[in-house]
């Protein structure tokens, strides 16, 4: 498909983040995986140890003619608490950090501006700690993590909303 782009987000447990993005019109696919670490082809067990440096991420493939990167950012901010360092709900560790992994200068600028606007408005009541860093190699998570809630037929709850309303 010629008209598609990639965006990558980390906001705690990837199951809930993936479920939210897969429901957004214009998203072609959202895939759970790992990014931002120093171990090649990490496993879930390795990432959970906190020693690989990876974050649980969701790689979003989207059609920019149907959904904008700004709309993706809006959803990202709404489905987790970007003010907690290395933690989302009961999940604690660097793998649960909040991060935006940008794929080009346009995404970088949009992410920085979006974060600045939310901080300036005091939207979350505390400073946003979300990292904005260049995307590096994406490692797809094990198959049992993909579309986790959909496969189990249950409502997403892992880190969703950061205590706020569901998307």
32 - beta bridge partners? 58
Instruction: Provide the CB-side half-sphere exposure for 40 (13 A, CA).
Output: 0
Q: How far is it, in rounded angstroms, from Cα 28 to Cα 19?
A: 13
Catalytic option among 7, 11, 12, 13: 13
Strand, helix or coil for residue 57 = strand
Going by C-alpha positions, the residue among 102, 112, 107 that lies closest to residue 136 is 102
Tokens 């950012």 — which residue?
Answer: 73
Name 140's Cβ contacts closer than 8 Å, sequence gap at least 6. Answer: 31, 32, 33, 146
CB atoms near residue 7 (< 10 Å): 26
Catalytic residue status for 48: no
Task: Give the residue numbers marked as catalytic.
Answer: 13
């Amino acid at each position: 498909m010629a008209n598609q782009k990639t965006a990558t987000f980390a906001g705690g447990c990837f199951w809930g983040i993936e479920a939210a993005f897969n429901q957004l019109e214009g998203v072609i696919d959202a895939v759970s995986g790992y990014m931002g670490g120093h171990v090649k082809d990490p496993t879930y067990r390795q990432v959970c140890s906190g020693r690989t440096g990876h974050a649980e991420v969701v790689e979003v493939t989207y059609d920019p003619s149907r959904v904008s990167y700004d709309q993706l950012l809006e959803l990202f901010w709404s489905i987790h608490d970007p003010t907690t360092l290395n933690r989302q709900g009961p999940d604690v560790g660097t793998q649960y950090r909040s991060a935006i992994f940008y794929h080009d200068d346009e995404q970088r600028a949009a992410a920085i501006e979006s974060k600045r606007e939310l901080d300036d408005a005091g939207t979350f009541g505390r400073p946003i700690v979300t990292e904005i860093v260049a995307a590096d190699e994406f490692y797809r998570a094990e198959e049992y993590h993909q579309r986790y809630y959909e496969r189990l037929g249950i409502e997403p709850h892992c880190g969703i909303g950061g205590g706020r309303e569901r998307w």
